[in-house]
Amino acid sequence: MMTKAVLPDSALPTHWYNLAADFPEPLPPHLHPGTREPLKQEEMTPIFAKGLVEQEFSTERWIEIPEPIREIYRIWRPAPMGRAHRLEKALGTSARIYYKNESVSPIGSHKPNTSVAQAYYNKLDGMKKLTTETGAGQWGASLAFAAQFFDIDVEVWQVRASFDSKPYRRMLMEVYGAAVHPSPSDLTEAGRAILAETPDTPGSLGMAVSEAIEVAVQSDDTRYALGSVLNHVMLHQTIIGQEAAAQLAMFGETGPDIVVGCAGGGSNLAGLVFPFIGHSLTGDVLPDGGVPASASGAASTDGGAAGTGAAGSGAGDAGAAGSGAAGRRGPRIVAAEPAKCPSLTRGEYRYDHGDVAGLTPLLKMHTLGSEFVPDPIHAGGLRYHAMAPMVSHAVDLGLMDPVAVEQEDAFAAGIQFARCEGTVPAPESNHAIAAACDEARKHTGEPGTGPVILIGLSGNGFLDLPSYANFS
Give 149's Cβ-side CA count (13 Å radius).
21
Contact present, 46 and 39 (Cβ < 8 Å): no
Pairing label, strands 362-367, 81-83:
unpaired
pLDDT digits (tens, 9 = 90+) for 232-268: 999 999 999 999 999 999 999 999 999 999 998 899 9
What is d(CA 386, CA 351) in angstroms, rounded to the nearest whole number? 10
pLDDT band for position 467 (50/70/90)?
A: confident
Beta strands per DSSP E along 360-416: 362-367, 401-405
| Predicted structure pTM score | 0.90
* pLDDT for position 325: 34
The percentage of residues in the chain with a pLDDT greater than 90, rounded to a whole number, is 77
Is residue 447 predicted with pLDDT exceeding 70?
A: yes
Query: Which neighbouring-strand residues pair with 96?
Result: 452
Torsion angle defined by CA atoms of residues 4, 411, 453 and 279, in that order, rounded to the nearest 10 degrees: -100
Pairing label, strands 153-159, 81-83:
unpaired
pLDDT digits (tens, 9 = 90+) for 288-343: 444 344 444 444 434 333 333 444 554 443 333 333 333 336 899 999 999 988 99
Contact present, 385 and 167 (Cβ < 8 Å): no
What is d(CA 298, CA 237) in angstroms, rounded to the nearest whole number? 15
Beta strands per DSSP E along 230-353: 258-262, 332-338, 348-353
